[in-house]
Amino acid sequence: MARLSTAGQSAALSKELADFLIEFSIGLHKNAIYPPGHPLLQGTSAELSRRLEALLKDRQTLSLGVARHQLIIEGVATEENNPVLRELASRLHRHHLGAVKFTQGISEDELIHMLATVSVDSGRLPRPLGMEGPEVLAQWAHIRLFPMTFQQLQLLDEAPSDTPEDPDDQIRAAGAGNRSAQLWIGLARAALVKQLGDKVSDDDAESVDPKLVAKAIEETKRDTAYDQVVVGYMLQIAEELKGKSGKESAALKKRVSSLLGTLTPEARKRILEMGGNMRQRKKFVADAAQGMAADAVMALVRDAAETSGQAISHSMVRMLNKMAANAESESDRVRTQADGALREQVQQLIAGWELEDPNPDGYRVALEKLSARQARFTNVDNLYPIEPERLIEMGLEIETLGDQMWRSADMLAGRGEIVPLLNMLDAAKSSWMREAIWRHIATPTRLRELLTTDPFPMAALSRLVPQMGIGAAEPLLDAMDEATDDKTNERYIELLQLVGPVAGPVILDRLPGLRWSLVRPLLALLGRNPEWNSGYDPAQWLTHPDALVRREALRQQLRAPETRELAIVRALADADEATLRLGLGAAMTNCPRDAAAMLRVRAEDETINEDLRALGVRALASHRAADTAAWLAERVVRTSKLLKRPTLASKSPVMLAALEGLATHWRNDKTAKDAIALAASSNDPEIRGAIATRGSAT
């Protein structure tokens, strides 16, 4: 899990930091389920200590900020849909922790104690760790836990019965059950408090004033822990405002919009830079665009574009500013339509930020004309009542393109009649027109619309996706991430197969952030297409926390002669029984030396399930070592002390497996012959059956 960002974007989390976060999450999880002193805990703390030591060689400190479902580290926010890191963020957030800071010189003993402290579920403690004092949060020499607001988060227990009219009063009067109030007061405290132990009163009106909060953020010199807690609250507030309504949300919207409007562009860019890579920055701005005031949205869009290296033409800016101005109109109709249009245009603009310049010359001219017109809201469907099918047929026949052709194509696709449109394109005589219309309809936006259509338009998608090529990969992966059933995801896998080799790098880049249930089928897709040459290596997934993912990676390594032996050994060492059985099945033919050594030890371990031990003996029998036959015979034949002659050992699954192995692989060996002869003379049909149908082997 070396990368948590999309390919080609500059703010990517390094492999070392990503591995450290994963190891930190695993360490807390193991400490939560294993008792102190367990051997697995020692190995975990040692590995985490090694990774921290390597990271702190090049930096004095390493700070980890906490949002509700994300972590912020060195200016990058982790993906919310990464299950391992989401669980780590949630665990720390439930403890009301806003940041964790590591400094050079940290010892393994400090790590062990810190992991044991934080791994305890917050519900089992008298109160969360973030509500404790310095004696708990700063008890280690080189590790510091910061509370969510750099002091205890204390809100009123109940909201007053009478709700004030003024939004400022609403914020102060909201109780602990009001998440909007919690988030704002938390952000205000995080911004205003400079060090652990300072007090900020909820009753002080100035303590929650947006301008005062903005001033505190402006004047505070860059401090990683401080910045990351502030950014964590901003991410949560943007998500909270998305699609929410009501007086409390309106009050929060007013305050945050005022805060963003008061901040200088440099301060806003600082927040956006701490928000992570372009993908996460787009999500933050997209969430803000749905919930914040129009002027705050415009400020964020401009700064986010500059921070991400994106171009917005002057005409587009003028048009958006005009929409923002109309969003404050006295007319309810104009205000509603302008506000909706502004937010829709911002969403479309952000979606196109993969392009170097989303405003080609022709589009720029169109925008110039749009920005110069008065706002008019008309129903374009009434302007062109002609049937779209007839108009497209005519346009293809006379080889003429124009607005009516584009609009007709959009109408057909919007009505779910894209297959007839594709049929008309296939029958078109003009190749240039066919390609032009294909470019118009084969877009990521169109694909996303079709993927949500019911019934699922597989026939149309199987023709659209190959035309789109790499442009179809991201929408398909996004749809997989949102799907709730395996059958739908199987269809998405089929469509990704149609994308071809260019899908490989995109899939690899997205894998670390996807749900575990999606990783296995995508690994299987990459494994079925080695000719894609995407740089995929199943070995990197052999240590994944999910057993299904590890099993799929092992299956692929078992199929390759050069990695078969190592894969068998890894499978035999896996804690998952199904994976262990997979390795045993592969070892039934030509068992590797290292695997044979492991199986000999396990055959004597009576704490292991006897059926598994028997399977291991059958696999071990195929190992072509000189002493294998003798080792198997020792489990079949015993020398009677009384009669001084060899006899069969007591029947057991292991004894029968050893006898079967001798008959299958070592029938011509002298030691094996003696054991087989004794078995042949036995009165037990099961013992005779173990040798009756086995083929001979050297």
pLDDT at residue 191 tops 80: no
Higher pLDDT, 697 or 540: 540
Helix axes 224-241, 179-192, angle to 10 degrees: 160
Q: Per-residue pLDDT averaged across 215-237, rounded?
A: 69
Mean pLDDT over the full length of the chain: 77
Whether the Cβ atoms of residue 477 and residue 514 lie closer than 8 Å to each other: yes
Whether the Cβ atoms of residue 659 and residue 684 lie closer than 8 Å to each other: no
Higher pLDDT, 175 or 482: 482
Higher pLDDT, 139 or 368: 139
| Residues ≥6 apart with Cβ < 8 Å to 46 | 108
Render pLDDT for 52-84 as a digit per residue (tens, 0 to 9): 888 888 888 888 888 778 888 876 778 777 888
Is residue 362 very low, low, confident or very high in pLDDT (cuts 50, 70, 90)? low
Backbone torsions φ then ψ of 639, nearest 5 degrees:
-95, 120
Q: Per-residue pLDDT averaged across 218-229, rounded?
A: 65
Whether the Cβ atoms of residue 276 and residue 304 lie closer than 8 Å to each other: no
> On the CB side of 221, how many CA atoms lie within 13 Å of its CA?
0
Query: Which of 281-295, 358-372, 456-470 holds the top average pLDDT?
Result: 456-470
Question: Residue 619: its pLDDT value, please?
Answer: 92
| CA pair distance 606, 125, nearest whole angstrom | 40
Whether the Cβ atoms of residue 79 and residue 39 lie closer than 8 Å to each other: no
Render pLDDT for 596-651 as a digit per residue (tens, 0 to 9): 999 998 888 888 888 899 999 999 999 999 899 999 998 888 877 666 778 888 89
Render pLDDT for 484-502 as a digit per residue (tens, 0 to 9): 888 888 999 999 999 999 9
Whether the Cβ atoms of residue 20 and residue 1 lie closer than 8 Å to each other: no
Tell me how crowded residue 635 is: count the other CB atoms within 10 A of its CB.
21
Which range has the worst mean pLDDT, 270-279, 518-527, 547-556? 270-279
Higher pLDDT, 14 or 365: 14
CA distances from 379 to 384, 415, 557 (A): 10, 17, 59
Question: Residue 478: its pLDDT value, please?
Answer: 92
Whether the Cβ atoms of residue 553 and residue 585 lie closer than 8 Å to each other: no
Report residue 689 as tokens.
């059956």
Tell me how crowded residue 369 is: count the other CB atoms within 10 A of its CB.
10
Question: Residue 528: its pLDDT value, please?
Answer: 92
- Residues linked to residue 597 through DSSP beta bridges, in sequence order: none
pLDDT at residue 9 tops 50: no
pLDDT at residue 276 tops 80: no
Which range has the worst mean pLDDT, 105-109, 323-327, 503-507, 661-665? 323-327
| CA pair distance 462, 467, nearest whole angstrom | 9
| Residues ≥6 apart with Cβ < 8 Å to 320 | 298, 301, 342, 345, 346
Question: Residue 158: its pLDDT value, please?
Answer: 29
pLDDT at residue 357 tops 50: no
Render pLDDT for 173-190 as a digit per residue (tens, 0 to 9): 433 335 666 666 666 666
pLDDT at residue 207 tops 70: no
Is residue 374 very low, low, confident or very high in pLDDT (cuts 50, 70, 90)? very low
Question: Residue 340: its pLDDT value, please?
Answer: 73
| CA pair distance 662, 644, nearest whole angstrom | 23
Render pLDDT for 506-524 as a digit per residue (tens, 0 to 9): 999 999 888 888 999 999 9
Query: Which of 11-25, 123-137, 266-280, 656-670 holds the top average pLDDT?
Result: 656-670
pLDDT at residue 354 tops 50: yes
Alpha-helix runs per DSSP H in 56-107: 83-94
Question: Residue 376: its pLDDT value, please?
Answer: 47
Render pLDDT for 550-574 as a digit per residue (tens, 0 to 9): 999 999 999 999 999 999 999 998 8
CA distances from 120 to 33, 66, 127, 308, 443 (A): 10, 17, 11, 40, 49
